[in-house]
Chains A and B, each alone.
Chain A
Amino acid sequence: MTAVSAFLVPGSPLHLLRPDNPPWRPIVAGFERAARALAMSRPDAVLLYSTQWIAVLDALWQARPRLTGAHVDENWHDLGDMAFDIRVDTDLAEACVNAVKAAGISSKSVDYDQFPIDSGTIVATRLLDPDSRFPLVIAANNLYHDAATTMRMAEIATATARVQNKKVAVVGVGGLSGTVFREPIAIAEDRVAAEKDDSWNRRILRLLEKGETGRLDAEVDDYAREARVDMGFKHLAWIRGAIGGRFFGARVHGYGPAHGAGAAVIEFRL
């Protein structure tokens, strides 16, 4: 068993802060279904990677036992703050740091009061696990890591959990297409900003649904470039690394816009 469940979810604050906005309902509803699936899979820990937690020196892993507070997004501050209460599986996190380091990827844990927790991590944990039932291992997106390194890290993290006899769920937090509206819009009219992005997103979602990993591998780089995918879709690499590359299809629980960008809640069939 590599992982008991796996999800790709968006990290935009919009869906958490304005869940009733009609164009954002499909994502919010998708999160509700994914949250039920996550709970049913009963993980001992959740391995989460967020494109919005940016690192540049090492691979960073959160190792503070409990993270609480209220975060205000840099861009969406007018929509209010996001309270969070996150528990970290520090044993597993520290073991991941050591194992990833041993594999030759410079790695560090962070354990600091008031360390800035990114919006994506908060949105995903609030919407996937509203009661904070599952402890997390949270990894940063090092800008210099490619998809292969990201996959390798997730693979090592899953193997490390196995050594500790822990069942893990895997979560990759990030968006799909990246063309956004750069000026304020009437949020009730939000949509995926570029038609080309929308068709790319739908095409990739179909490949994921059917589990066509071969075609996915062939197309994912073009998709990432042409549709300006959030961080080159490294959040998918994280998931695929953790689940051993293959999966048997996926359920798209929700697809929609985030101020023009593409977003989807996806559950992988393992």
Chain B
Amino acid sequence: MANGEIVAGFLAPHPPHLVYGENPPQNEPKSEGGWEPLRWAYERARESLDQLQPDVLLVHSPHWITQVGHHFLGVRHLSGKSVDPIFPNLFRYTFELEVDVELAEACCEKAAQRGLTAMMMRNPKFRVDYGTITTLHMIRPQWDIPIVGISANNSPYYLTTEEGLDEMDTLGKATREAIEATGRRAVLLASNTLCHWHFHEEPDTPEDMSREHPQSYDGYKWDMRMIELLRQGKTAEVFRLLPQFIDEAFAEVKSGAFTWMFAAMGYPELPGELHGYGTVIGTGNAVMEWNLVKAGLAGAAVPPSAAGGRESYAGAMR
């Protein structure tokens, strides 16, 4: 199989508050709502994803931290209850997911060929991190599309930000090669918050939106500046500013998902579609989409009757 392609990338942050606010049956704690504008942003992203009809969702999460190499989920079926260690009061979520192991292995192999330390995670008892699960729930609550989960190697923290993000760039390029070589129609999910200055105490009613606001005005201004550049498609300028943004806004994009995604897409100078922005416990979160199909950079979904190749692939996954 060949001719796979990336059909879209989403900036898809993972505050567990959004799942909590939505009250899906999988989550134990129940809320009165909250963070609606961000949840409505994800509703729009969900609709768009639905139209894209991808074979697979790839997610890079800052809450699966690895010190030795970049790791890929490599067990076909994973399930369990994910409890957020920071917000256990908000997120205790029962999940079941299917991994596209063949693509994960291809990503791992291509990353190794490009000189990265890369490893498969084969332990069936592994606890999938809450960042991966939250992002996946928010973008596709049906859980009916196979996924590839990628760890955040701690290189941007252990080395310098620039050295670390260089590794993420390589990882992104390797990911693209793997997608092309395996013939997948893929969507990338960068599970990152922007400005990460946060409150140090949680309101008694976490969903009391009269208490929600940006923790830092400077951080907010940074977020708006970066989002505006992204909306204009000024990708090169965004990446020129990225290290400064990371430093000054304590941005979670330091962990690499954002760089990984853009590297995989080839850093298109393509206006991103902002589905919405909002703060969660003071941090800045944007749901954004780069739709390569609409931009003419990737093929549209083939109607089901003509999708022989993809159907047989999807069938093999089940």
Contacts and interface: CB of A to CB of B under 8 A. Distances in A.
A184 B68 contact: yes
Contact of B88 (A56, A110, A144, A184): A110
Contacts of B69: 182-184
B146 to A, nearest CB: 20
Contacts, number: 82
A182 B158 CA distance: 10
A114 B85 CA distance: 10
Interface stretch (A73-81, A147-155, A201-209, A235-243): A73-81
B65 A57 contact: no
Contact of A81 (B80, B119, B125, B155): B125
22 contacts: A55-B85, A56-B198, A58-B201, A72-B123, A72-B125, A72-B126, A74-B64, A74-B151, A77-B71, A77-B122, A106-B200, A106-B201, A112-B88, A113-B83, A114-B81, A115-B88, A116-B85, A144-B200, A180-B68, A182-B117, A182-B155, A183-B68
Interface string A69-93: 0111011011011000000000000
Interface of A: 53-58, 70-72, 74-75, 77-78, 80-81, 106, 110, 112-116, 144, 180-184, 259
B184 interface: no
Q: Which 3 A-B pairs have the closest CB atoms?
A: A77-B123, A114-B81, A72-B126
Interface of B: 64-69, 71, 80-83, 85-86, 88, 92, 117, 119, 121-123, 125-127, 129, 151, 155, 158, 198-202
Contacts of A184: 68-69, 117, 119
Contacts of B85: 53-55, 115-116
Nearest to B281: A57
Contact of A113 (B81, B121, B199): B81
Contacts of A259: 67-68
Contacts of B68: 75, 180-184, 259
